[in-house]
């Protein structure tokens, strides 16, 4: 089996002259213990967190172990530490890494305390730790609930912002007193509800949104009560309204707290919402509606860049053009082959441009690996002393961070140049599926909801043209333009990123 040794020394209370606190001695003891139980053991490069507290998980070595476990790609089988508190002093942190180890099928050995999760006894100890963690969370939650309920039973405001119409009696006082500045408006709001004037009059009285007015109208704090969870308790604050007025208002409020708006289910469905873009500034155009004097409703898509751009187009016109463009866009084998050839050419160009940079980055990654190995060897061999430990820690952290940056850059360039899930390969797959798009959209003509989902999947952007036409760019890169009643293919959009081919079978 392959073992990974983790060592840590806290920044405070450390004594580099004491053998029990040095990372070198921790690593030596762990290595000796492992070899006693498994003479054929092999070891991965040790992970060291020098001068980092165990009270937090913000430690570079520890975070690297977590990242490898979450990615499911560690090159070791068992994690070894000298004491359990070397992993962390928080029960929740310990349970987190234990869960990740279990999910990845890896073991944990605590040398000094005899814990070994590869044995039944070791797993039992970890189950006890998990139970302690659960108990700790529940106890904290229970204590908070008990404290909150005690405050409410005493007639005080429990927590959060004080409701309008009241103030705290003191900075850290839970007792409420009437706010003479806002109390009249609250009373006016309740009177507006009770008299049947409706939500508009209530909003005008307090100057707050509709949802906030409904929330205040249901708050029993205004009749001298304190809400706490599902219960209410007698408060010590002065009521702002009478019980009679409160009952009258409650009888006029909607039965449901979040009752739907009248005719909300009849609201118009905007088919191009989220994909239509302004032809001048490129911003997303949002659905918008207005009513004329005769009550007729007019629907638009309006540019979201309202401070500088006020363009808008008729929703019905744009949706009809989009359906026509997708429906009438025919893709012959020759046109599809042309698109595929263009994408393959782009892929070859990208590979040619990125291959030299990838090679240089790999050489740099090898050099960084050698530097990191030398730093680790210096620590485990006892070369690092108290005087130069801080400098070593900075160098080790910078080297580790640079390694991560180089690795991420290599992965990005490899993806762009044709690695796994290459966007060019996804675009080529999409282009080959284009002949079926017009056929699929015809089947959805009488189903607006399905048609909208189809547009969300298949269309990347839809841009109105100044001549009244519409230009559509599919998620795979190919584009089509409808202008003056004619549909034409305009090749490929400059491709920065392409989504995988997605067919309308995903609509259900």
Tens-place pLDDT, residues 436-490: 666 666 777 777 887 787 777 667 788 888 777 888 777 655 666 666 666 565 5
Question: Residue 223: what pLDDT?
Answer: 92
Token pair recorded at residue 217: 């109208």
Over residues 43-47, the mean pLDDT reads: 90
**Among residues 252, 279, 297, which one ends one of the domains?**
252
CATH at residue 112: 3.40.50.1390
Question: Residue 118: what pLDDT?
Answer: 73
Question: Residue 440: what pLDDT?
Answer: 67
Pick the residue with more confidence: 80 or 503? Answer: 80
Question: Residue 112: what pLDDT?
Answer: 79
108 Cα distance to chain centroid: 30
β-pair type (115-116, 107-110): antiparallel
Statement: residue 82 has pLDDT above 60:
yes
Question: Residue 335: what pLDDT?
Answer: 65
| Closest CA relative to residue 47, chosen from 9, 21, 95, 85 | 9
Residue 306 domain-assigned (yes or no): no
Residue with tokens 């009249």: 184
350-to-260, 358, 359, 409, 478 alpha-carbon distances in Å: 53, 12, 14, 15, 18
Statement: residue 93 has pLDDT above 90:
no
Residue 503 domain-assigned (yes or no): no
User: Is 343 within 8 Å of 492 (Cβ atoms)?
Assistant: yes
pLDDT in tens, 381-420: 777 777 777 788 788 888 888 888 888 888 777 766 655 5
**What average pLDDT is seen over the chain?**
77
Same domain, 129 and 174: no
Same domain, 11 and 134: yes
User: Is 77 within 8 Å of 2 (Cβ atoms)?
Assistant: yes
Residue 433 domain-assigned (yes or no): no
What CA–CA distance (Å, rounded) separates 187 from 242? 10
Same domain, 11 and 79: yes
Task: For the chain, give the number of residues.
Answer: 508
Q: Is 354 left (phi over 0), alpha (psi -120 to 50) or beta?
A: alpha
Over residues 217-229, the mean pLDDT reads: 89
Q: Please state the φ and ψ torsions of residue 155, each to the nearest 5 degrees.
A: 90, 10
Rounded to 10 degrees, the C-alpha dihedral 12/16/18/21 comes to 60
What CA–CA distance (Å, rounded) separates 344 from 419? 14
Same domain, 187 and 100: no
Token pair recorded at residue 8: 């840590």
Question: Residue 3: what pLDDT?
Answer: 92
Same domain, 55 and 124: yes
pLDDT in tens, 302-357: 887 766 777 888 888 888 888 887 776 656 677 667 767 766 777 777 777 778 88
pTM exceeding the 0.85 threshold for the entire prediction: no
Pick the residue with more confidence: 215 or 265? Answer: 215
171-to-167, 168, 174, 179 alpha-carbon distances in Å: 10, 7, 9, 15
Question: Residue 16: what pLDDT?
Answer: 40
pLDDT grade, residue 358 (50/70/90)? confident
Question: Residue 15: what pLDDT?
Answer: 41
Question: Residue 257: what pLDDT?
Answer: 53
**Among residues 210, 228, 252, which one ends one of the domains?**
252
Same domain, 132 and 183: no
Statement: residue 27 has pLDDT above 80:
yes
Window from 13-27, 115-129, 360-374 with minimum mean pLDDT: 13-27
Residue 428 domain-assigned (yes or no): no
Same domain, 107 and 174: no
pLDDT in tens, 232-271: 889 888 999 999 999 998 888 876 555 544 444 456 788 8
Same domain, 13 and 120: yes
Statement: residue 29 has pLDDT above 90:
no
**Among residues 419, 442, 474, which one ends one of the domains?**
419
Question: Residue 246: what pLDDT?
Answer: 92
Beta strand spans in 166-296 (E) = 166-168, 176-178, 225-228, 231-234, 285-291
Question: Residue 76: what pLDDT?
Answer: 92
Same domain, 18 and 71: yes
Question: Residue 271: what pLDDT?
Answer: 86
Same domain, 203 and 125: no
174-to-142, 149, 210, 228, 403 alpha-carbon distances in Å: 20, 13, 28, 14, 53
Question: 251-271: b or e for each residue (b if 16 or more CB lie within 10 Å)?
Answer: eeeeeeeeeeeeeeeeeeebb
Residue 115 domain-assigned (yes or no): yes
Planar angle of CA 180, 220, 203, nearest 5 degrees = 60
Element (H, E) at 221: none
How many other C-beta atoms can be found within 10 angstroms of the C-beta atom of residue 378?
A: 16
Same domain, 9 and 134: yes
pLDDT in tens, 6-20: 988 887 544 443 434
| Closest CA relative to residue 149, chosen from 137, 160, 159 | 159
Question: Residue 435: what pLDDT?
Answer: 65
Residue 275 domain-assigned (yes or no): no
User: Is 337 within 8 Å of 448 (Cβ atoms)?
Assistant: no
| Closest CA relative to residue 189, chosen from 204, 179, 177, 174 | 204
Q: Is 105 left (phi over 0), alpha (psi -120 to 50) or beta?
A: left
Same domain, 170 and 133: no
Residue 216 domain-assigned (yes or no): yes
CATH at residue 172: 3.90.1750.20
Instruction: Print the domain residue range for 383.
Output: 346-419
427-to-322, 418, 473, 500 alpha-carbon distances in Å: 21, 12, 12, 7
What is the C-alpha end-to-end distance of the chain, expressed in Å?
48
Question: Residue 263: what pLDDT?
Answer: 47
Residue 41 domain-assigned (yes or no): yes
Percentage, residues of the chain above pLDDT 90: 7
Window from 28-37, 86-95, 118-127, 491-500 with minimum mean pLDDT: 491-500
Domain count, the chain: 3
User: Is 70 within 8 Å of 96 (Cβ atoms)?
Assistant: no
Beta strand spans in 280-353 (E) = 285-291, 297-303, 312-314
Residue 37, judged by CB atoms within 10 A of its CB (0-12, 13-18, 19+), counts as exposed
What CA–CA distance (Å, rounded) separates 490 from 492? 7
């Amino acid at each position: 089996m392959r073992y990974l040794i983790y060592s840590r020394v806290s920044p405070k209370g450390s004594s580099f002259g004491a053998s029990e606190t040095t990372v070198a001695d921790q690593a030596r003891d762990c290595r000796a213990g492992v070899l006693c139980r498994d003479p054929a053991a092999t070891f991965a490069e040790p992970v060291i967190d020098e001068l980092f507290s165990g009270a937090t998980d913000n430690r570079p070595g520890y975070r690297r172990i977590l990242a490898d476990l979450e990615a499911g790609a560690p090159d070791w089988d068992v994690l070894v530490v000298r004491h359990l508190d070397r992993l962390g002093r928080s029960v929740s942190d310990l349970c987190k890494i234990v869960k990740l180890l279990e999910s990845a099928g890896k073991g944990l050995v605590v040398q000094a305390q005899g814990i070994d999760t590869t044995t039944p006894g070791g797993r039992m100890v970890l189950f006890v730790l998990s139970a302690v963690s659960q108990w700790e969370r529940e106890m904290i939650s229970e204590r908070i609930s008990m404290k909150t309920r005690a405050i409410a039973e005493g007639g005080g405001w429990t927590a959060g912002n004080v409701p309008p119409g009241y103030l705290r009696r003191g900075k850290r006082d839970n007792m409420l007193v009437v706010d003479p500045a806002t109390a009249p408006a609250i009373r006016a709001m309740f009177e507006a509800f009770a008299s049947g004037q409706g939500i508009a009059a209530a909003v005008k009285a307090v100057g707050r949104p509709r949802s906030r007015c409904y929330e205040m109208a249901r708050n029993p704090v205004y009749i001298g009560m304190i809400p706490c969870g599902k219960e209410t308790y007698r408060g010590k604050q002065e009521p702002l309204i009478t019980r009679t007025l409160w009952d009258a208002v409650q009888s006029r409020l909607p039965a449901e707290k979040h009752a739907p708006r009248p005719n909300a289910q009849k609201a118009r469905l905007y088919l191009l919402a989220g994909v239509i873009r302004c032809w001048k500034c490129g911003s997303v155009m949002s659905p918008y509606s207005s009513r004329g004097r005769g009550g007729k409703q007019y629907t638009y898509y309006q540019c979201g860049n309202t401070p500088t751009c006020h363009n808008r187009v008729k929703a019905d016109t744009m949706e009809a053009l989009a359906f026509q463009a997708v429906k009438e866009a025919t893709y012959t084998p020759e046109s599809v082959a042309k698109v595929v050839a263009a994408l393959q050419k782009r892929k070859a160009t990208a590979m040619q441009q990125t291959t030299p940079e990838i090679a240089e980055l790999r050489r740099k990654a090898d050099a960084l690996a050698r530097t990191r190995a030398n730093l680790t060897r210096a620590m485990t061999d006892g070369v690092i002393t108290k005087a130069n430990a801080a400098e070593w820690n900075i160098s080790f952290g910078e080297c580790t961070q640079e390694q991560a940056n180089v690795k991420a850059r290599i992965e990005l360039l490899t993806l762009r140049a044709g690695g796994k899930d290459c966007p060019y390969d996804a675009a080529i797959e999409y282009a080959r599926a284009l002949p079926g798009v017009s056929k699929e959209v015809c089947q959805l003509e009488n189903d607006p909801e399905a048609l909208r989902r189809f547009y969300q999947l298949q269309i990347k952007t839809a841009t109105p043209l100044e001549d009244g036409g519409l230009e559509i760019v599919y998620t795979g890169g190919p584009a089509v333009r409808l202008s003056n009643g004619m549909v034409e293919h305009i090749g490929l959009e400059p491709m920065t990123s392409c989504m995988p081919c997605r067919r309308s079978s995903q609509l259900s």
